[in-house]
Structure 1
Amino acid sequence: MTRPPGVLVDGWRRSPHQDAIDQLRRQVSDGLAAADPLLSGPDRDRLVHELVGKALNAHAAARLAVGQMPLDPPVEAQVAAALRDAFSGLGPLEPWLADQAVTNLFLNGPVVWVTYADGRKERVPPLFASRDELVDLVRSIAARAGADERRFDRGVPRVSVRLPDGSRLFATLLSREPSVSIRRHTLLDVDLDQLAARYGVMDRVLRDLLAAMVRARKNIIICGGPATGKTTFLRACAKAIPSSERLVTIEDTDELALDLDPAHPDCVAMQAREPNVEGEGGVDLAELVRWGLRMSPDRVILGEARGGEVVPVLNCMSQGNDGSMATIHTSTSKQAFTKLMTYAAQSEQRLPFEATAPLIGAAVHFVVHLAWSADGVRVVSSIREVVGAQGTEVISNEVFTPGADRRALPGAPLRAATLDELAAAGFNPDLLQGW
């Protein structure tokens, strides 16, 4: 990876020509602020090029007027490229996001950490010259993310954006320095076969079983800790859905991108919307689920359950939209039930555990837990079959349990009726014999 030139000042990377870059960046930023906020991508890029050229010409004229030489042509070209990248591209982030080995990028102000697919984590030199430069780039990226208003200032000190390559950027101004976290999604077109054969997430028996669960229209909760591959796994499971089915995806920030996959020609992707400057127009995930059910979907897919939206999703799963899926953050497969009940208790309906447990028992068929194996591979670690509820408890059988290396091993047998349904969906029950 090429390291950016410059020297460190207060921890930030300062170019020898940083004062000129800062001045010109402010001029371009002011010009963009005065432009149409709904300017399309290509039109906005053309305006950026025009504003950069005008700013550089004005800068050269101002220097000549006071008897100073303008920037040398090679330096001016570097400054122009830096300005264009800052407002049209991803700036200093660009080379890192082009590296397929990079899985995450964390910027704690000037302090930058990179994690890699092999599990390595290393600190790299600062990428930005100042907090203002970093904040300006985040604002520019947010402005180009789509038609929805994505503010990033002291009034709205956080923003979540899907980058062009499918990665998710989250930034906040509530820490000592601006903080930016970028989660990479490098496996946008992967299926269960590839996860099994190429990446070792599961063996062929689990691959066939999971594909049959999807084809049999089982409602599945995919859970696991941070960075265990839940979104990628959900996307791979969705590959097993017949292309004739109508899907509605619900997300806080568009990560699944199933509507862009030719395998899902009838897919509506909905994304939560932040309130506007006046505090109006916000649409949360719970409301989107209700909207989605009015679109006559065959399945509803929730990118991540983390609040009151679990109630409409569970209702959706139990009223005919079988085959729906969602992800949730948990440490174990069993903890998924507690998290779902806790979120339901925090919802607008304020459902008590006594009401939520039977709802989960009727709605959810399987819970699949992902974890890191002992040798550093993302794997399927546990699968639970939900069999009902009693009082405040969801009753389930752990049909695959974590082994010593955290990879799933056979546990309790599947119920006979479930096995018959999976067999009808193409699963060979003989694969489970003697495993």
Structure 2
Amino acid sequence: MKRISCGVTIALVGTVGVMLWQRPLDSADDVAAVAKVAKGITVLIDGVNPGSGIIVGREGNTYTVLTAAHVVPVQDEYDIVTSDKQKYPLKYNTVQKMAGVDMATAKFTSDKTYPVANLGDATKVSEGNPVFVAGFPKPGAAISEPVYNFTTGRVTANASKPLADGYGLVYSNSTLPGMSGGPVLDKQAKLVGIHGRADGGQLERQSETVYVKTGFNLGIPINTYLGMAPRPSLVAVAPTTPPPPRPMAPKPAPVAANPGRADDFYLLAGDRYRQGDMAGAMNQLSQAVRTNPNYAAAFATRGVIRYIQRDQPGAIQDFDQAIRLDPSYAEPYVGRGLARSALGDKAGAIGDYTRAMELRPTYAEAQYNRGVLFYNVGKIREGIEDLRRAADLYLQQGNPVEYQRTQETLRVATSNCRQQIRTLCDW
């Protein structure tokens, strides 16, 4: 029997490879209501490098779209495609880029009525709160055109000291290239941020056979926009007065008296990770959990870094703590499964992947990892079934990269050769 020998799909969130957290969200009806709002206000910005945007204002027949500045970097031909598939030219002379932050507005004209985002208050969003991100992932070999995508997740940090370009919100939602500029909504369907960055498409080689995928999702708080946008262009649906601009820095206070500092440490940890400074990331995460001993995401993220550094016992300790703090988190079970598998505890790893899938039936990474592990321990039929289910989930979720990767794994698993796949899977 050929063995699928490779590393695993680890969805890391937080700049430090934080895992993609997802507790059980509110009722399906509540999520569906947010999804309906998101679809109406989210637009595709079609150009050489397609991106997403949000309808945030209307004056007569002129609509204002908010997006990330890097979606419309230079003068070119862009079209705005609305939820009803109508295409409107974006006149580049209407583009206004905001100084010091990765945000821009653009305008289009239509005599049709489109919904306008209800602007919220990002300062009221805290770690653990559910958030929703929408947008149009770029097409790939499996998907020939941008397809609207709506994802659920949780806030992992809301820092009081944003990074460069205004990024201060961190969340666990699975995002893909092309979703930049899309909305980040709270459970009341209010716009609390603009999605802009994710490391989800980057792979980092850790050894000859192990690869780790990062997925640090970042947004700019909507309050930054409220503090900078020209007032005449805002026609918010909210009946209340928009909240004041969010301060760029908190008032000085002792660390113990300011729980928000834990979020700041977490955000800085991610920044260190992106720079390749693992020691710096670990230091920031340790400060985060000292400041807030109940910070499950910080423990899980530290576990991921320890896994990358091959400190599997230390990784398991951190994953255990994250699970103790919140047993409904799906991803720490996947992280612990990876560490257990690396130590030879295959049965324990399969149990962890199974628990993650029980918590979130659409968790493609857990399905994929369990499928590879089943295959490698001789349960061929179960392994192939899991891999096929993972491929279907990736396709449904508009993730062409992971769909193709899973199809490659399936081709090897069902062939007669002894090829070893060195890609994303359990090892």
TM-score by length of 2: 0.28
Greater C-alpha radius of gyration: 1
TM-score by length of 1: 0.28
